[in-house]
Amino acid sequence: MAATIKDIGRVAGVSTATVSRVINNLGGYNEETEKKVMAVAKALGYRKNESARSLVQKSTNTIGVIMPDVATTFYGDIINGLEDASYENGYSVILTHAGINGCRIHESLNLMGERRVDGIIIVSVELHEAEIEALMSLDIPFILLSTKTNREDTPYIKVDDFSAAYTAVNYLIENNHRVIGMAGANPDDPIAGTPRINGYIQALIDHEIKVDLNLIKAGDFSFESGKKAMQEFIKDQAPITAVFCASDETGLGIISICFENGISVPNDISLVGYDNSTVSYMSIPPLTTVAQPFYKMGSEGCLKLIGSIQNKTKIDSIVIPHELVIRQSVKKLS
């Protein structure tokens, strides 16, 4: 039932070409016809049909976003950032989950292809070779956010997890901590797991502190991981004075167990978290943590992608700086 430019043309007594020109204000018509066309368009409640426009222009003004199943709760600010940036540039965002462990990623990519999105953003999903091939074969500009691959030709924006972890542990060492545990990282996760563990280890090595593998408690970045890690530390009677946590939630888990056992943070044990998530400033004490600029990652990534779409340029990967947000969970040892 919706009115088309044909309808407008008929009523206004002009051709569809003229209507199209006016609607898109391309100029080249006198004021009178413009007014008439606009008036009729309004009267008829005209709304342009993006599908038709996309078909002829071969561009959908749409950006496809693929994110892991937990992204909205966890990386929400990335979504916010990229949605804002795309909105401001006249792009719409179409969103799909990659499913648990990326099991839906092929379907997602396929969908993006059929929808002819102008660009693709992949958030925090680990891509294997087959998936990279599928992505590249779409021949659509793309960028990875908070993840990367081992190939050179897949542009990304992310924090350097290794050096962020290094910074965090280094800060603990600067505060004279010498027996430092690590908790919550998943050693099977090549994106967020091993680099953080390695950063932790490297910081110790660089300060000639012996690395004790018993002090590394693996996990899955969760609150529960933190609880479990701390319980083990206690059981082990580990002589730690500080723990580097692979996520803020893990840090909160540790705090929780400490509280139960009358261990004071930071007096008895110091903590550095990772993410600067909303929970980090609500804990007791507020958590010193590594900040990843999620919102900026989203907006910047989106902007880069749009630039690449419009200028057909290649996107350079960038390592976005992390920041140590100092709150009150680390005590300076004398």
- Contact footprint for DNA (CB under 7 A): 2, 4-6, 13-18, 20-21, 23-24, 26-30, 32-34, 46-49, 52-53, 55-58
Q: 253 contacts which partner out of DNA, a second copy, none, CB within 5 to 8 A by kind? A: a second copy
Determine the 3-state secondary structure of 173 from DSSP.
Answer: helix
Which of residues 55 and 130 has its CB atom nearest to a second copy in the complex? 55
How far apart CA 304 and CA 203 sit, in angstroms, is 33
> What are the distances in angstroms from CA 247 to CA 118, 216, 219, 220, 292?
34, 14, 10, 9, 11
Which of residues 12 and 143 has its CB atom nearest to DNA in the complex? 12
Which of residues 83 and 161 has its CB atom nearest to a second copy in the complex? 83
Which of residues 43 and 55 has its CB atom nearest to a second copy in the complex? 55
Nearest-approach distance from CB 6 to DNA, in angstroms: 6
Residues at the interface with a second copy (CB under 8 A): 1, 45, 47-52, 54-55, 60, 62, 69-70, 72-74, 76-77, 79-80, 83-84, 87, 92-97, 104, 110-111, 113-116, 137, 139, 223, 249, 252-253, 255-256, 259, 278-279, 281-284
Beta partners for 145? 123, 157
How far apart CA 163 and CA 198 sit, in angstroms, is 9
How many of the other CB atoms lie within 10 Å of CB of 325? 17
Q: 169 contacts which partner out of DNA, a second copy, none, CB within 5 to 8 A by kind? A: none
Report the chain's C-alpha Rg in angstroms. 26
Which of residues 30 and 150 has its CB atom nearest to DNA in the complex? 30
Nearest-approach distance from CB 113 to a second copy, in angstroms: 5
How far apart CA 69 and CA 328 sit, in angstroms, is 32
Which of residues 71 and 169 has its CB atom nearest to a second copy in the complex? 71
79 Cβ contact partners less than 8 Å away, ≥ 6 residues apart: 65, 67, 71, 72, 95, 123, 298
Nearest-approach distance from CB 163 to a second copy, in angstroms: 26
Q: 307 contacts which partner out of a second copy, DNA, none, CB within 5 to 8 A by kind? A: none
Nearest in space to 48 (alpha carbons), one of 12, 18, 8, 95: 8
